[in-house]
Amino acid sequence: MAEQNFIDYVKIFCRSGNGGAGSSHFRREKFVPQGGPDGGDGGRGGHIILRGNSNLWTLLHLRYKKHIHADNGRNGMKARATGASGKDVFIDVPLGTIARDIDTGEQLLEITNHGEEVILMEGGKGGLGNWHFRSATNQAPSYSQPGLEGTESWVILELKILADVGLVGFPNAGKSTLLSTITAAKPEIANYAFTTLKPNLGIVSYKDHQSFVMADIPGIIEGAAEGRGLGLRFLRHIERNSCLLFMVSAEAENIADEYKVLKNELKKYNPELLYKERILAVTKSDLIDAELQKMLIKAFKEEVDEEIDVLFISSVTNKNLDVLKDKLWHLIN
């Protein structure tokens, strides 16, 4: 699918159905001249329901469908017959979709499993027929309840990509090149910042016909947690990854400093992200020799006070890519 077709944020207007009115009917038959009340209840209004669909990976199908309305419930009928319920409307969404209130930003629900169904907006309840209001002192009530109105509002749908491994790095760190090398994904690659403007997914083949999913998230810059660059628009995708692969180019002036900036941006956005397992891959290492690698590792460990695997890789020469797969598989499992 073309890159411009990846849509991970839409606003839609939803309106659930109104409940049907209860009936104020009286039984009238040839030999029953004074039949009592027999008005039936109104039917329930249709729900708006979100349904998980693992065959979808974008919200593109909702981009031009801004208004979604469910049917109203039917009115109650004679002989205590209940009116038909309004037809529910199902909105298929990719796994990892959340719904937010457009005014408060509050998360209303999330969809994470295929076939999972969650009611976004409930239909209005049907009104009671006059049969319910009969009593010893009021044997012929001529009134019934109207149906309750449905709910309507604008809702934000956001997609957070579900992947096993999320690639975290500055623009032009080699994330897209790695993805294109070890998966069948074909992201746009060029030697300038922000080549990747949309997240890309790729399936990494592993041993014994096993595989895992890798997500190339658009590059982070310092201040991304405050919205700079592509900022908050794509940081949310990292939340759903099982583990993180930090990537810093061997061409960087200071690998430790770049790693710290990336880590700090994740912490400012969501401190829980730092609890995820992670590896640091130093890319484009075909440009440096073994002696310089040792010096860089030593300098990194002196500046970074944490235990983290550091691996020098090259997507051009396939250097250590099999080792990287083994390490990622170990973290995922």
Residue 43 makes CB contacts below 8 A (sequence gap 6+) with 19, 20, 73, 74, 75, 76, 82, 83, 84, 85, 86, 126
Report the alpha-carbon distance of residue 165 to residue 174 in Å, rounded: 15
Cα separation of 310 and 3, whole Å? 31
CA distances 195 to 58, 154, 241, 242, 252, Å, are 20, 33, 22, 25, 18
- State which fold the 163-332 domain adopts: Rossmann fold (3.40.50)
Question: Do 1-159 and 163-332 share a fold?
Answer: no
CA distance linking residue 37 with residue 22, whole number of Å: 12
Which among 309, 315, 170 is positioned nearest to 248, based on CA atoms? 170
Q: Is 332 helix (H, G, I), strand (E, B) or coil?
A: helix
Mean pLDDT by 10-residue block, N- to C-terminus, for the chain (333 residues)?
63 94 85 80 95 86 89 92 94 90 88 92 93 85 91 89 81 80 58 50 81 75 46 63 87 88 84 86 86 87 84 88 90 84
Q: Where are the domains of the chain?
A: 1-159, 163-332
CATH of 1-159, one of 3.40.50.970, 2.70.210.12, 3.40.50.1950, 1.10.10.10: 2.70.210.12
Given its phi and psi angles, is residue 181 left (phi above 0), alpha (psi -120 to 50 degrees) or beta?
Answer: alpha
Provide the pLDDT for residue 224. 43
Q: pTM for the whole thing?
A: 0.66
Three-state secondary-structure class, residue 121: strand
pLDDT in tens, 80-124: 899 999 999 999 998 889 899 988 888 899 898 999 999 999 999
